[in-house]
Amino acid sequence: MNPTWKKWITFVAVAVTVFTIDQIAKWRTVATLDVGETWEAFPPIFGIIQVTRTWNPGAAFGMFPAGSDFFMILAVITVAVFAAFYPTLQPEARFSRLGIAMICGGALSNAFDRFRFDGQVVDYVYVQLTPTFANISNFADHFITIGVVLLLLEQWRLDHLEAQRVAEQERLAQELYVAQAEPNAMWGFTVWPVESPAANGHLPTPLAADAPPVAGDLKQTPSQEMNRADDVVSS
């Protein structure tokens, strides 16, 4: 299968799943409960989470209660931007692909609510954290939040892999630099390579190839000594 088509199939499958789950929950809430009513047949979770129907004209989790038209337009723009960005993701960016699909599915579900219910969204997950603080949301909000977290995790993972790659390249470059200098050590001195990608100016100054050897560093071979003796006798 074409990799591009595979990406889009994954995107559509996740987004449609998120949209469907949230819309089914909203349909059930609207069909069963009046506004402000709590579903008594559904016991509270951990004593703080219960199903209560309410209308939300604002953003996710009941924030910014005014400006419903703005949030509907913002949701459409968000989906369009992410959909355009989605094909550019690398194959290994699995978290990003999943996160973007979740965000788009949740945003479309809430935008669909605003279109149907005169700019309002059906919320049904009521959380009473403290006696003075409560929050109400829906599954679309939760999927959007999970999607954002996945994007952040993906960015952290890619930054970590890039740092490892750079460190490995520097290590290999340093090993190669040292290995190039070792064969010259048999002459009693070290000739460092003229260029080193990892030296960074901290290694000894390179010794040019045509520089004269230091006295005492090199010993004459027997043939050189015999030639020198013949020259002395001839003179």
Q: What is the pLDDT of residues 84-139, one digit of tens each?
A: 888 888 877 889 999 999 999 999 999 999 888 888 899 999 888 777 777 889 99
Mean pLDDT, residues 201-221: 51
Indicate whether 193 pLDDT > 60. no
Residue 46 φ/ψ region, left for φ over 0, alpha for ψ in the -120 to 50 degree band, beta for the rest: left
Q: CB of 214 within 8 A of CB of 230?
A: no
| Residues ≥6 apart with Cβ < 8 Å to 106 | 18, 19, 22, 139, 140, 141, 142, 143, 144, 147
Residues with catalytic annotation? Answer: 123, 141
Supply the pTM of this predicted model. 0.65
Indicate whether 147 pLDDT > 60. yes
Length of the chain: 235
Domains of the chain, by residue range, sit at 3-165, 179-234
Confidence at residue 157, expressed as pLDDT on a 0 to 100 scale: 87
pLDDT in tens, 13-69: 999 999 999 999 999 999 998 888 888 767 777 677 888 998 887 655 555 555 556
Percent of the chain exceeding pLDDT 90 equals 24
Compute the Cα dihedral for 62, 63, 69, 70 and give only its sign: negative
